[in-house]
Amino acid sequence: MEIILADVRGFCGGVKRAVKMAFDNAAKGVYSYGDLVHNEFVVKELEKKGVLTIDDTNIENSKVIIRSHGVHKKILDKLEEKNNEIINCVCPKVEKVYNIVDNFYKKGYNIVIIGNNKHPEVIGINSRCNDSATIISNLEDIKIPEGKTLIVSQTTNNVDFFEKAINIIKDISKDEVLVYNTICNATFKRQESIRNLSKKVDAVIVLGGKKSSNTKKLAEIAKLNCKNVFLIQSINDIDLNIFKKFNKIGITAGASTPESVIKEAVCRMENFDKGEMMEAIDNSFKRIRKGEVVTGEVLYITDSEVMVNLGYRSDGIISKDELAGGPDVNPADLYKQGQEIDVYVLKMDDGDGNVVLSTKRVADMKIWDEVEELYNNKEKITVTIKNQVKGGLTADFRGLNVFIPASHVSVRFQKDLSKFVGEEFETEIIDFDKRKKRIVASRKNVLQEELDKVRDEVYDKLKEGDIIEGTVQRLTNFGAFVDVGGVDGLIHISELSWNRVKHPSDVVSPGDVVKVQVLNVDKEKNRIALGLKQTMEKPWDVFKNEVKIGDVVKGKVVNLLDFGAFVRLEQGVDGLLHVSQIAREHVEKPQDKLSIGEEVTVKVTDIDEENQKISLSIKALIEPEVKEEDEESKPRERKPRRERKVAPKREKKIEEPKQDDFNMTIGEMLGLNFADADLDSEILEDGKEISASEKEETEKSTEE
């Protein structure tokens, strides 16, 4: 009969921590809320030290141990309110799940927990989202709420079950689904170990408490490959004669199972078969291979090497070159005699019978393991930018090379990446390959998360109608984007001014600080509509208060049409300068006299308040209008009568007039040119009188 122990078994780190803290504080008058771990042996040992197990919050002014699986938040709050000292033994992995759920619940995510809804750990996680989580315990009837969803897992969950549930959820969900694999790494390794072991043996013994979730899952995994699986709390709970028919027997233990229970099982099996069984057990404890990481105890330290006890038939040796601190470090500064350290097996024999070890390799592996855990948990890392390369930036994280693509350097396009060299960035790992030693990170995701937080705060604060101050960031053809507390709002081109605007640059420029009114807030569509003109007095109101009909004002030509020109006055309103009012003479087109942008002085000839129209005139300034009634009311001015010249009497022979002489006009005879004179009817009458008088004298002269 051969006994094979699982490589990973027994207490996990969280349980070791919880048990140590509990026993360090164990005494009479100390209480434990629920069983510290799901193992009766540990619970009984605590009871022997005086620790009482309770399931209510009626105690006060006492010391209370909180179990490793955690409790409902309300229970913890009540215990603290009653002035109890809390010994928090909750597993750090579980605490991390608390923080993840609490953070995303506050961001509005629906919470889905994959696990046993009656398990204390799941109850505690659910309390961090106000008991609103959807808990998935089986694959038959999975339903998830609508909207963005966060999925976490019970830390002791079956990895296969978790992955199947995730695939189903992704198929049925139409919204954003964010998955955090919160299964404990120790749980995963323990499950992988029993999965491999169960393929090699005829029977499997699983040691653990009957209430332990992770122990039950180990048994379930073992049954996938081995028909003979026995789940027992201790070796005393089973008849060993059952195992006589099996050639190979595998043994594993749950996370809450003490090492003493495992050793007891080994001892019983030893007594059952002292021959082959004992040899198999002995080999299982001391077998090591090249390339493995094992734990050893420092035996002694010299200036050039460290000797380590591996529990193997030979001791191990670490040369100075293979120390984690580098070849220049003093080994005595790194380790102390009796200290337990993890070492990497380089060679099984150095020629002198020693196993060749390295702590430098372990340190490198641990860093990659830590990065892998950071990647799986979506945790952020701080990197230092080293160089600009093709396609992005390279950065350093604890000696490892990190690549940041250009598209993930910032939330906005960055033309020059060299300016970031030497800076520290908080980033999120977006791609990781441990085998290829590749890490790809994003600063954009971190910045976007911060912007989303600021955005939520701004959207919660802003209300329609608020007058706020912002800074113009950039201009487009359709408007101006303004930063209002970390979030951009849009002033549409129609809301920039009460007047028509051809381009936003006519009103504002990037960097301008402006007061704007909030017109609309749409958080779902991530839109904030702003108005600039609403913070200014309407130009028409200013015009009405300052200008009246007949006033002479200045303005600038802003548009030219066939029927006239539009002039923008100093008050910001436009008036029409009709083509007939541009000049004294006839103007065919406004373009013949005016040009856009030209400053002109005009007279306000009419104001239509109802339709908000203004009539302007330049002609009125050149040739003021004269009304007909004014012309008629003025007395007509008479031109002075022209004095009649009397020709002196000449003594000469009177000749009979020639026929041509009779063809002369009276005006020609008097020396007047009526064709050129502008005489009115009275002057013409005077002319007739003069003409009649001269005729009379001519007749008298003829008679004589």
The rounded distance, in Å, linking the Cα atoms of 121 and 107 is: 23
The beta-carbon contacts of 532-540 under 8 Å, at least 24 apart in sequence, are 532/491, 532/495, 532/496, 532/497, 532/507, 532/508, 533/495, 533/496, 533/497, 533/498, 534/495, 535/467, 536/497, 536/498, 538/498, 539/498, 539/499, 539/571, 539/572, 539/573, 540/498, 540/573, 540/612
What is the dotted CATH code of the domain comprising 94-183? 3.40.1010.20
Answer left, alpha or beta for residue 469, where phi above 0 means left and psi between -120 and 50 means alpha.
Answer: beta
Domains 292-365 and 548-617 share a fold: yes
Question: What pLDDT was estimated at residue 405?
Answer: 92
User: Residue 604 corresponds to which tokens in the numbers above?
Assistant: 């306000």
CA distances from 402 to 324, 335, 428, 448, 689 (A): 21, 31, 11, 20, 122
| Binding-site annotation, residues | 12, 38, 69, 91, 119, 155, 184, 212-214, 256
How, if at all, do strands 564-569 and 574-578 pair?
antiparallel
Q: Lowest-pLDDT range, 14-23, 134-143, 477-486, 652-661?
A: 652-661
Q: Please name the residue that has the structure tokens 């004669």.
A: 241
Shortest CA distance to 405 belongs to which of 396, 135, 180, 395?
395
Say which residues have a Cβ less than 8 Å from residue 602's Cβ, sequence separation at least 6: 552, 553, 554, 555, 567, 575, 577, 616, 617, 618, 621
Give the angle 580-583-587 at the CA atoms, nearest 5°: 60
The rounded distance, in Å, linking the Cα atoms of 344 and 587 is: 100
The rounded distance, in Å, linking the Cα atoms of 421 and 159 is: 41
The rounded distance, in Å, linking the Cα atoms of 49 and 501 is: 85
* Sequence-ordered alpha helix ranges (H) in 319-416: 331-334, 360-376
Average pLDDT over residues 340-344: 87
The rounded distance, in Å, linking the Cα atoms of 109 and 101 is: 9
pLDDT digits (tens, 9 = 90+) for 484-525: 887 889 999 988 888 778 899 988 999 999 989 999 988 888
pLDDT digits (tens, 9 = 90+) for 77-99: 998 899 988 898 988 888 899 99
Average pLDDT over residues 17-26: 86
Reported as a pLDDT band with limits 50, 70 and 90, residue 635 is: low
- The active-site residue out of 121, 305, 322, 495 is 121
| Binding-site annotation, residues for isopentenyl diphosphate | 38, 69, 119, 212-214, 256
- Amino acid making up residue 354: N
Q: Which CATH superfamily is domain 292-365 in?
A: Nucleic acid-binding proteins (2.40.50.140)
| Of the options 3.40.50.300, 3.30.365.10, 3.30.750.24, 3.40.50.11270, the CATH number for the domain spanning 14-92 | 3.40.50.11270
CA distances from 428 to 65, 380, 382 (A): 36, 5, 9
Q: Please name the residue that has the structure tokens 């109101």.
A: 541
SS (H, E, C) 168-195: HHHHHCCCCEEECCCCCHHHHHHHHHHH
CA 423: distance to chain centroid?
Answer: 21
Judged against a pLDDT cut of 90, whether residue 352 lies above it is answered with no
Judged against a pLDDT cut of 60, whether residue 323 lies above it is answered with yes
Question: What pLDDT was estimated at residue 640?
Answer: 58
Number of H helices, E strands in the chain: 18, 32
pLDDT digits (tens, 9 = 90+) for 534-574: 888 788 888 888 888 888 999 999 899 989 999 988 888 88
pLDDT digits (tens, 9 = 90+) for 396-450: 887 788 999 998 988 888 888 888 898 888 899 999 888 888 899 999 888 888 8
The domain ranges of the chain are 14-92, 94-183, 187-273, 292-365, 378-448, 462-535, 548-617
Architecture of 462-535 per CATH? Beta Barrel (2.40)
The rounded distance, in Å, linking the Cα atoms of 645 and 671 is: 10
Percent of the chain clearing pLDDT 70 (strictly above):
85
Instruction: Annotate 519-536 with b (16+ C-beta within 10 A) or e (fewer).
Output: bebeeeeeebbbbbbbee
| Binding-site annotation, residues for [4Fe-4S] cluster | 12, 91, 184
pLDDT digits (tens, 9 = 90+) for 191-240: 888 888 888 888 888 888 777 777 888 888 889 889 888 888 888 788 77
The rounded distance, in Å, linking the Cα atoms of 171 and 276 is: 52
The rounded distance, in Å, linking the Cα atoms of 315 and 353 is: 8
Judged against a pLDDT cut of 80, whether residue 647 lies above it is answered with no
The rounded distance, in Å, linking the Cα atoms of 230 and 246 is: 13
Architecture of 378-448 per CATH? Beta Barrel (2.40)
Burial of 268 (0-12, 13-18, 19+ CB in 10 A): middle
Asked whether the beta carbons of 310 and 360 are under 8 A apart, the reply is no
pLDDT digits (tens, 9 = 90+) for 265-292: 767 766 665 544 445 445 544 578 888 8
CA 77: distance to chain centroid?
Answer: 33
Question: What pLDDT was estimated at residue 626?
Answer: 54
- Amino acid making up residue 695: K
What is the dotted CATH code of the domain comprising 548-617? 2.40.50.140
pLDDT digits (tens, 9 = 90+) for 573-594: 889 999 998 888 888 899 988 9
Mean predicted lDDT score pLDDT of the chain: 81
Shortest CA distance to 450 belongs to which of 486, 418, 482?
486
Burial of 648 (0-12, 13-18, 19+ CB in 10 A): exposed
Is residue 121 annotated as a catalytic residue, yes or no? yes
Shortest CA distance to 255 belongs to which of 7, 95, 15, 20?
15
Reported as a pLDDT band with limits 50, 70 and 90, residue 661 is: very low
Residue range 187-273 in CATH 1.20.1250.20:
no
pLDDT digits (tens, 9 = 90+) for 166-192: 888 888 888 888 888 888 877 778 888
Question: What pLDDT was estimated at residue 648?
Answer: 54
Q: What is the per-residue DSSP string for 629-684?
A: HHHHHSPPPPPPPPPPPPPPP---PPPPPPTGGGGS-HHHHHT--TTT----HHHH
CA 341: distance to chain centroid?
Answer: 43
Judged against a pLDDT cut of 50, whether residue 338 lies above it is answered with yes
